Amino acid sequence: MRLKKKFKALSLIELLIVVSILGVLSVLITTPISAQLQKARDAKRKLDVNIVQKGLEEYYDSTGCYPERLPECGKELTLGESKIIQKIPCDPKNKSFYPYITTGENCSPYFKLYAKLERIDDPNIFMSGCENGCGPNCAYNFGISSVNIGLDYCQPPMTPSPIETPSPIPEPPTPTLTLTPKPTSTPAPTPIQYVCAPAAGPHPEGQCEPFAIPTLSECPNIYPDDPTCQYECYLQTNRCKNAKGKFKQ
């Protein structure tokens, strides 16, 4: 004799509760994953720019100028029989090239290289001065240039002043000549760029130090005005590749 199992069907309210719980769980899981993917892509963009910059400086050391243009994505940059860059990197998300700006001549005395980071709170955006946009059409927020020229920065939009109701014009006073000293402006101090230096000597665990040009040392993270480097120098992945950018060239 076969026994028939009886199953209790779920009511509509119970189904709605289950669907709601699954929806909340998917949001909680998807959000941190998306943020980590953005952070990983930004790290790749910064590394790509550093690789291209290093290759361009090597090209300049050999020729005294920078190339007129870069090869297409994935192709190599050569000088004679030497391979300066094995593969020209491109943006990891949309596979587009990183804008490379020169004089357009065969032998350019300078270069500018731009990228767009997804995380707008990345400190490298502020270190490069591109928090209001920079580069072609103000479409980028991170860049590197040769030491003899700066990036193309975009100014923040002007806020129009509110229209006020005009007041009655008073009688003009008797003019008097008054000499006032011209105010002098004090430039804002440049933030000190702290990085996790390569482990060496008495600091095998890595040391937080100021570097003049961190990009030349392929430093993965820059800590503006933070001599502690957020206590992250114990991680090998946070340390610079070398000490080339510690002092001004």
Q: For 63-119, how does the pLDDT look when each residue is reduced to its tens digit (9 = 90+)?
A: 999 999 999 999 999 998 899 999 999 999 998 999 999 998 889 999 999 999 999
- Chain-wide mean pLDDT for the chain? 83
Is 53 domain-assigned?
yes
Given a cut of 80, whether residue 42 has pLDDT beyond it is yes
pLDDT of residue 20: 81
Residue 243 has pLDDT above 90, yes or no: no
Q: Identify whether the C-beta of residue 223 lies closer than 8 Å to the C-beta of residue 229.
A: yes
The pLDDT value given to residue 84: 92
Higher-pLDDT residue of 28, 134: 134
The residue-averaged pLDDT of 12-31 equals 74
Whose tokens are 């699954």? That residue is 22
One-character DSSP codes across 159-216: PPPPP-PPPPPPPPPPP-----PPP-PPPPPPPPEEEEEPPBTTBTT-EEEE-S-GGG
* Mean pLDDT of all residues in 145-171: 74
What pLDDT, on the 0 to 100 scale, is given for residue 55?
Answer: 92
Residue 72 within any structural domain of the chain: yes
Burial of 239 (0-12, 13-18, 19+ CB in 10 A): buried
Give the pLDDT band (50/70/90) at residue 183: low
Which range has the worst mean pLDDT, 77-86, 155-164, 195-204? Answer: 155-164
Q: Please say if the pLDDT value at position 212 is more than 70.
A: yes
The answer to whether position 28 is within a domain reads: yes
Parallel/antiparallel/unpaired status of strands 112-115 and 142-145: antiparallel
Residue 205 lies in a domain: no
Q: Stretch 30-44: mean pLDDT, rounded?
A: 85
- Lowest mean pLDDT: which of 9-18, 174-183, 227-236? 174-183
What pLDDT is attached to residue 12?
74
Q: Is the pLDDT of residue 28 over 70?
A: no
Rg (alpha carbons) of the chain, rounded to whole number: 28
- Which pLDDT score is estimated for 186? 65
Instruction: Give the residue numbers spanning the domain of 89.
Output: 22-117
Q: How many CB atoms lie within 10 A of CB 240?
A: 24
Would residue 126 count as lying in a domain? no
Residue 52 has pLDDT above 60, yes or no: yes
In total, how many domains does the chain have? 1
- Residue 6: inside a domain: no
- What phi, psi does 70 have (nearest 5°)? -100, 150
3-state secondary structure of 95: coil
More confident residue, 32 or 7: 32
Q: Which two tokens stand for residue 142?
A: 């991170």
